[in-house]
């Protein structure tokens, strides 16, 4: 009988030792599992991104170039957008942006589209301020695409500065800065609404 008690006690002590050993290392194991899971997710994202970019490198370049031309060739682009061919081009640009853009880029595109629908429904003629807001949306979209494709982050205002000659005029600068603030606020509200 004594031997059975001793064997049971030894087994209980052994089980407690094994349990305490695993409990002691459980926080470390949990952290290691989380790190491995995160590494796996990151690796998967990198592989998917590399594959996607490899397949569509020329399309990415063309998409970025088309949107950039809205700023660099603004006058020419605005003339052609009123034509059926220009509308088809714009539709294709939106399509590619939805295909290749990040969530951030698609958010900007969605807000820009909503702004355009709202302005168009309010009146057939855009105010100067609405045109500046649209210009800031396009600049913000280009900046987001640039970040998506190159990892380089710039400010939308920098693009505007390269094209607009009258930004030294305080009134024009204030209007552009107000348009920039409006765009940032609308995008922030849009993202908050989605969460």
Spell out the per-residue pLDDT of the chain, length 195, in tens: 788 888 888 888 888 777 777 777 777 777 888 888 888 887 877 776 676 666 667 777 888 888 998 888 877 777 777 788 888 988 999 999 998 888 999 999 999 999 988 887 776 566 788 888 989 999 999 999 988 888 889 999 888 888 777 777 888 888 889 999 999 999 999 989 877
* CA–CA gap between residue 101 and residue 107 (Å, rounded): 9
Reading the block at residue 9, the tokens are 């006690």
Would you give the end-to-end CA distance of the chain in angstroms?
Answer: 67
Reading the block at residue 75, the tokens are 């006058």
pTM, rounded to two decimals: 0.71
* Structure confidence at residue 154 (pLDDT): 92
Contact 187, 103 (CB under 8 A): no
SS (H, E, C) the chain: CHHHHHHHHHHHHHHHHHHHHHHHHHHHHHHHHHHHHHHHHHHHHHHHHHHHHHHHHHHHHHHHHHHHHHHHCHHHHHHHHCCHHHHHHHHHHHHHHHHHCCHHHHHHHHHHHHHHHHHHHHCCCCCHHHHHHHHHHHHHHHHHHHHHHHCCCCCHHHHHHHHCCCCCCHHHHHHHHHHHHHHHHHHHHHHHHHC
Among 169, 171, 164, 149, which Cα is nearest to 71's?
164
* Structure confidence at residue 138 (pLDDT): 93
Contact 167, 132 (CB under 8 A): no
Contact 149, 60 (CB under 8 A): yes
* Structure confidence at residue 92 (pLDDT): 92
* Structure confidence at residue 10 (pLDDT): 83
């Amino acid at each position: 009988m004594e031997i059975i008690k001793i064997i049971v006690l030894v087994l209980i002590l052994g089980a407690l030792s094994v349990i305490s050993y695993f409990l002691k290392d459980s926080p470390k194991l949990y952290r290691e599992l989380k790190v491995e899971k995160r590494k796996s997710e990151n690796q998967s994202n990198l592989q998917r991104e590399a594959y996607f970019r490899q397949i569509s490198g020329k399309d990415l370049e063309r998409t970025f170039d088309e949107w950039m031309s809205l700023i660099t060739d603004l006058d020419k682009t605005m003339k052609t957008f009123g034509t059926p061919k220009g509308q088809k081009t714009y539709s294709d640009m939106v399509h590619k942006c939805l295909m290749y853009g990040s969530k951030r880029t698609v958010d900007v595109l969605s807000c820009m589209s909503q702004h355009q629908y709202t302005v168009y429904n309010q009146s057939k003629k855009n105010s100067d301020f609405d045109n500046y807001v649209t210009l800031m949306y396009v600049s913000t979209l280009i900046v987001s695409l640039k970040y998506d494709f190159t990892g380089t982050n710039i400010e939308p205002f920098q693009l505007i500065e390269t094209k607009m000659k009258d930004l030294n005029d305080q009134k024009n600068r204030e209007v552009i800065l107000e348009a920039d603030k409006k765009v940032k606020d609308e995008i922030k509200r849009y993202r908050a609404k989605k969460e």
